[in-house]
Amino acid sequence: MSTKPYDLVLRGGTVATASAVFAADVAVEGETIAAIGRNLPAGAKEIDARGKLVLPGGIDSHCHIEQVSAGGLLNADTFESATVSAAFGGTTTVISFAAQHIGLKLDEVVEAYHALARKGAVIDYAFHMIIADPTEVTLKDHIPKLVGAGHASIKVFMTYDRIKLDDAQMLDVLQTARDCRALVCVHAENHAMISWTVKRLLANGYRAPRYHGVSHPRASEAEAFNRLIALAAFIDQPIMIFHVSTAEGAARVRAARGEGLKVFAETCPQYLFLTAQDLDRLGLEGAKWMCSPPVRTGADQEALWQALALGDLQTVSSDHAPYRMDASGKLSAGPDPNFKEIANGMPGLEARLPLLFDAMVTKGRLGLEKFVALSATEPAKIYGLHPRKGDIVVGADADIAIWDPRREVTLAAPLMHDLTGYTPYEGRKVTGWPVTVLSRGRVVVDDATLRVAPGSGKFLARKAGPAAEPTGRRAPEFDPAKNFGAKM
């Protein structure tokens, strides 16, 4: 009696999850993982994974794709180019942004980004909703409706003139998110400290890109973290703090988590591998290394690595924010802009995982299981995608990256598949590279070739995950009598 063969078998590789590393075959049926074990029956198709690592496809939970900035500047990548770049770097899921600006209706904004992704994405995707205009209709109508439709996370800013929220607006968003069981993600820097410093730097003739780093005092991060954590604790709303860049910021996150507060946090490769010295270049060259918050010091890098080791930081995202070095991007204000006029952001979707693999696995910094946890499993859990994504388990989507741990690659602009035209990691050598990448059982990348068509990625509707559940530290309904003993 014959049995139908598996659609695909990955044969003879070493499988790694966030908790184990073991030799096994992996069988795929349709879009999902059907079996894991040794000496599985033959598949209709097979991929030889001997000598390779079979890992969950990466999840990049913070990337800006085909997004219009608050200043009206469209970044360099389309959903096609960005997701192709992600796939070549071993990432199989992206969470990008549907960015509301003041005066725009959030539901229309989200649908516009959906249309772009449906047209171009080659891997699966979801959205964080950026809230810049928390009107009553946004808070009472659009956010609940959109969270119910699978957009389970919100992003807000504490800085940038056109999109920052004040503390009262932040409380409104936190309360709305609590009511909807959505996670709130925050860019947290002290706006006044940055604006005050920028004004004085420019008044004294300090215009070059290297002064961008000076204009974001490191204390602005820790202060904003303190205020944000206090606001979130007051509402009892879980938060994710984006792109932690300083030792002081990491310490504040650790303290909050030690207090039992539901605070999650991430960092990015630029804060682990670059420093302020990268900005200090002739002319405008340093603009390529401008991002916010800025890259810091070697001591901060060590503090962030320690925070990752301890679990204070749970994910490493790219914060991919691609702007070309021309009039369409960083030089949009003219050929001689001051640092304030240069678009912030750098590309990183494709380089993220190879950089982390080289540091964590090849050089042994944190190990293979921690690499899988930070790059795939933890973001899947935090953002409501697990166990469908981020793991190699039976029943999960067959999102798999097969890595050659011995392949040596020198990062360079021509190797990248985004449209930025440069990489901030030019010339850096890494060992370990994803050679075959699957998304829902489809071979997306193999033999350095794209194998799928634009628009073949799918939207991932996310229910609010356990990370978005309140801590129970206060009553669901705000009651002045209970909180302050006020007379009604």
Using the predicted structure, report yes or no on whether residue 470 has a pLDDT greater than 90.
no
Q: From residue 170, how far is each of 167, 255, 340 by CA, in Å?
A: 5, 22, 25
pLDDT score, position 463: 86
Judged by average pLDDT, the poorest of 89-98, 182-191, 212-221, 465-474 is 465-474
Task: Report the share of the chain in percent with pLDDT over 90.
Answer: 93
Confidence of residue 473 (pLDDT cuts 50, 70, 90): low
pLDDT at 481 over 70: no
> What average pLDDT score do residues 72-96 get?
97
Residue 262: what pLDDT? 96
> Across all residues in the chain, what is the average pLDDT?
95
CATH architecture of 58-375: Alpha-Beta Barrel (3.20)
Q: How far is CA 6 from the centre of its chain?
A: 34
Apex 159 CA angle, 157 and 160, nearest 5? 100
- Which CATH number among 1.20.1630.10, 3.40.630.30, 3.30.450.20, 2.30.40.10 corresponds to the domain 6-56+391-450? 2.30.40.10
With bands split at pLDDT 50, 70 and 90, how would you rate the model's confidence at 474?
low
| pLDDT tops 60 at residue 476 | no
Neighbours of 224 (CB within 10 A): 24
Q: What is the 3-state secondary structure (H, E, C) of the chain?
A: CCCCCEEEEEEEEEEECCCCEEEEEEEEECCEEEEEECCCCCEEEEEECCCCEEEECEEECCECCCCECCCCCECCCCHHHHHHHHHHCCEEEEEEEEECCCCCCHHHHHHHHHHHHHHHCCCEEEEEEECCCCCHHHHHHHHHHHHHCCCCEEEEECCCCCCECCHHHHHHHHHHHHHHCCEEEEECCCHHHHHHHHHHHHHCCCCCCHHHHHCCCHHHHHHHHHHHHHHHHHHCCCEEECCCCCHHHHHHHHHHHHCCCCEEEEECHHHHHCCHHHHCCCCCHHHHHCCCCCCCCHHHHHHHHHHHHHCCCCEECCCECCCCCCCCCCCCCCCCCCHHHCCCCCCCCCCHHHHHHHHHHHCCCCCHHHHHHHHHHHHHHHCCCCCCCCCCCCCCECCEEEEEEEEEEECCHHHCCCCCCCCCCCCCEEEEEEEEEEECCEEEEECCEECCCCCCCCECCCCCCHHHCCCCCCCCCCCHHHHHCCCC
Measured CA to CA, the distance from residue 91 to residue 89 in angstroms comes to: 6
- pLDDT at 352 (0 to 100): 98
| 439-455 per-position pLDDT tens digit | 999 999 999 999 999 99
Intervals of CATH 2.30.40.10 along the chain: 6-56+391-450
- In sequence order, which residues have a C-beta less than 8 Å from that of residue 66 and are 6 or more positions away? 74, 75, 77, 78, 79, 82, 113, 116, 120
Which pLDDT belongs to residue 220?
A: 98
Going by DSSP bridges, is the β-strand pair 53-56/6-16 parallel, antiparallel, or unpaired? Answer: parallel
pLDDT above 90 for 483: no
Mean predicted confidence (pLDDT) in 160-176: 97
For 36, the token pair is: 């894991």
Confidence of residue 367 (pLDDT cuts 50, 70, 90): very high
pLDDT at 385 over 90: yes
In this prediction the pTM is: 0.95
Query: Tens digit of pLDDT for each residue in 31-55?
Result: 999 999 999 999 999 999 999 999 9
Mean pLDDT, residues 7-22 taken together: 98
First to last CA, the chain: 78
Please state the length of the chain.
Answer: 488
Contact 376, 403 (CB under 8 A): no
pLDDT value of position 477: 47
CATH 3.20.20.140: which residues of the chain?
58-375
